Structure 1
């Protein structure tokens, strides 16, 4: 029997009909279901070869096969929008952050709670409980988060060779303003080095949790450290304005690329043309960044926020969801359960075939072979549980213990678990997004004077319906907090 589900997806509010298949559509008992799995990442030459080995294993272990469909990074979002809007039958897809919440709220993903005590029992126990809390939207879990770092910690990343050359003590950098003497030294003595590396996506660190996921930050935020119950426009807060003024002074001093507001330069680590940059941290990140420099120089980090902050964006940064159009939801959960708890399967999907794509060393660590680098490079972060991955030869033995300690030290933002339902103010949010796209890049890269620019920005936000959205969001947040404290 088929039932129809009216579905309005994304800010376009498109009403569509998805077919949810019932018992008449189940595969006969003598057939092995093949799960269609949409995955982000550049399509790899050896994916079919690896999936052949995956299917040998999963058919034997849980009676299912998997067909991975890879969609390249820049195309994935639009492709999945088309797939979901069309009502195409598929089983599993990678999703993250704002898109995950939007699709979950609009009914595109299967609620998983009823499966997590049976088909997903081991996975439910293996993953950090905070991840499950963060994946809960309107009381239901709609996806399986990647078990990795749960907190977000921003850091300054410095070129350590230059730090040592000028005898700098980066541990004394406690604020954005504290960078000034270091930047001045580099500007005066290193003409080939841009003191602050960054492009049009650059933004300084703010002490706020953005409540709507968007490439350009929308104003609606709560303090990420103070539980005051208030939603504010972070752009015009006193501490934000101080940061923006400092940033503008840095731009005027030539500490940043003059074209930063429009630049698409990725500022690759293999080019020694920058002194400091802002990055998101995880344990052992220095090892990765040092490897990316190609041995030309090393890096050293200094935390911006003292402890990692757990936000919705940090716990929903990589999720595998089961489609509401799936004809095999139980089997899909069984596969995700195995992927997140079975060391052999997790490493096979991630690293490829032992002896072909990597080799295991005498101490149990691994080393990539040329075939992996050339033919099977997968997005590790997106695939599931990190804590059962094999370690590379240059990784510390206690890497996963460091991750667990990092998670233990992470502190929840007051906004964790609050997901705004925008259905009453979609038009206003679309208008506000356009205003932010117009004004924010210049503000967040320091290219304009915030004292002159902010009044114009705020006027445009007000004209776009800022007050209406703020009231609706505050009402929902108040209700969320009241329910949370019961």
Structure 2
């Protein structure tokens, strides 16, 4: 009899234990991250009850909405459905949303993505940047105000973007505002983006282009002998890979929104005495530009520049990824990090790249908004869109899926915690780490410095602040003229900057066409707004 009672007691004890385990709340990611031996202070009964309630996991949303996410990239990929499935299984229970990525090629962004948002098509998250349609979209009323308490959705940043506000340097938030309003969320990345070049280290070794020689490159004239050597050694390649970008950029990148850097601008760096020249000028009218265009024409005729470089359909990415080039102009971010990222994105294990810097470290308005995510005004799911963007600034698991793809399929971890790429189909389709949320949450690959992400943040600490930091040109007063100028730019600028046409013949025609389109009026408006902005700042 005693044995039967004892057995009954054991069964009851086991049943109570099982019930207790099944009803215990699961730990949140934040709780799991806490040290196991950390002692929590004892709370009063009422406070303890509130704390326990706060730590309970949120109930799974009853409805899951679909977010259409437009991102620029190389092209769509058959790996996308796999990545979407993994991401959606993870975020659905967290925020009540799934996501579909629309990867639009760089060359097609204006005709497909911008046209789609202007047409009011279903888009919930939209990539933009100060240099990539941001102010234009704002001026057209196409983006949702994110921090406007009187807006249709209230202050989305305060309500659903607390992790964004906590993680971002305030310079990103303030620097990306237009008249005090945020219309997009910046990526947490480097603040200073000097221009320069990436070059093919394999070809460099073959022609004797050492690190010491690379450090001597300050002008196109310094570079030309090495282009000649590369062409002689590899006659089937075009050593200077370009789409018209100027690596030796003497002006501010993205100074006047919606206007080409080479049409209205000001100097990027102070003079030898540390004085800034804030004169607003037309770069195409300068002697520097006339000499530069003549050099590009000479390089084109010598076979240093690809014969199709002047065409908008010409894509430099394919030749870079294949290693069929010597040097290409590029925005950089310090410590050879851009070169490492390009190697990873290429999917080419034999590609080796290095960098040359042609500008000092200067923080400009364009850099604070160099990579952003906006919520279109026509989105039917702005709250869920903001929740997803916020998660991209707080959730390492999500951000590494977005960057690298599905763990075990596209990547796995080496013993040292760095990422080993197994399948580059996803990472080579999108632009790279700089478009995904918060780089400090991203793992690095086994081809990168383990401290890369902190290095990115630290790189800008000693950067100069450009006098125009915070200035944003409003296009509305001269919108018609800007449209006309852009038509002229689209028709001839790239051809001039790649040597595709003779600048002796075409530059005067180009300048006249710009004047006829309203260049003088636009320049005067930029000068007026800049002067007013300086006065408002008390300078």
TM-score, normalised with respect to structure 1: 0.81
Structure 1, unpaired ranges of 5+: 1-28
Greater strand fraction, Structure 1 or Structure 2: 1
**Aligned counterparts of 2:421 and 2:146: Cα–Cα separation in 1:** 36
Equivalent position SS for 1:112: coil
**Aligned counterparts of 1:398 and 1:207: Cα–Cα separation in 2:** 31
Other-structure match for 1:245:
294
Equivalent position SS for 1:70: strand
> 1:268 and 2:268 equivalent?
no
> 1:36 and 2:67 equivalent?
yes
**Aligned counterparts of 2:292 and 2:88: Cα–Cα separation in 1:** 53
Cα distance change on mapping 1:287 and 1:465 into 2, 3 Å: closer
> 1:119 and 2:160 equivalent?
yes
Contact 2:300/2:499 (8 A) holds in 1: yes
Other-structure match for 2:437:
384
Other-structure match for 1:4:
none
Which residues in structure 2 correspond to 1:249-398 (within 5 Å)?
249-258=298-307, 260-262=309-311, 264=314, 266=316, 268-282=319-333, 283-290=336-343, 292=346, 294=348, 296=350, 298-307=352-361, 309-370=362-423, 373=425, 378-380=430-432, 381-398=434-451
Contact 1:145/1:316 (8 A) holds in 2: yes
**Aligned counterparts of 1:368 and 1:156: Cα–Cα separation in 2:** 26
Other-structure match for 2:98:
66
Contact 2:257/2:473 (8 A) holds in 1: no
Cα distance change on mapping 1:265 and 1:346 into 2, 3 Å: closer
The structure 2 residue matched to 1:478, chosen from 526, 531, 539, is 531
**Aligned counterparts of 1:398 and 1:375: Cα–Cα separation in 2:** 20
Structure 2, unpaired ranges of 5+: 1-59, 148-154, 271-275
Cα distance change on mapping 1:91 and 1:235 into 2, 3 Å: same
Shift in Å, 1:471: 1.2
Contact 1:36/1:68 (8 A) holds in 2: yes
Shift in Å, 1:464: 2.0
**Aligned counterparts of 1:376 and 1:449: Cα–Cα separation in 2:** 36
Which residues in structure 2 correspond to 1:61-460 (within 5 Å)?
61=94, 63-73=95-105, 76-88=109-121, 90-97=123-130, 98-113=132-147, 114-168=155-209, 169-188=213-232, 190-198=234-242, 200-203=243-246, 205-209=248-252, 210-212=254-256, 217=261, 219-226=263-270, 227-258=276-307, 260-262=309-311, 264=314, 266=316, 268-282=319-333, 283-290=336-343, 292=346, 294=348, 296=350, 298-307=352-361, 309-370=362-423, 373=425, 378-380=430-432, 381-448=434-501, 450=503, 453-460=506-513
**Aligned counterparts of 2:90 and 2:326: Cα–Cα separation in 1:** 48
Cα distance change on mapping 1:236 and 1:48 into 2, 3 Å: same
Q: Size of the alignment, in residue pairs?
A: 454
TM-score, normalised with respect to structure 2: 0.74
**Aligned counterparts of 1:327 and 1:60: Cα–Cα separation in 2:** 20
Contact 1:220/1:233 (8 A) holds in 2: yes
What's the CA shift string for 1:154-180, capped at 9, x where partnerless? 223333344344434222112222123
**Aligned counterparts of 1:92 and 1:172: Cα–Cα separation in 2:** 44
What's the CA shift string for 1:49-87, capped at 9, x where partnerless? 5445544544544x4222324243255544444543444
**Aligned counterparts of 2:241 and 2:217: Cα–Cα separation in 1:** 17
What's the CA shift string for 1:418-467, capped at 9, x where partnerless? 22222222222222223333442333123555455443333222222221
Equivalent position SS for 1:472: helix
Other-structure match for 1:464:
517
Equivalent position SS for 2:326: strand
Contact 1:204/1:243 (8 A) holds in 2: no
Other-structure match for 2:152:
none
Shift in Å, 1:268: 1.3
Shift in Å, 1:289: 4.5
| Deviating more after overlay: 346-355 vs 78-87 | 78-87
Shift in Å, 1:413: 3.5
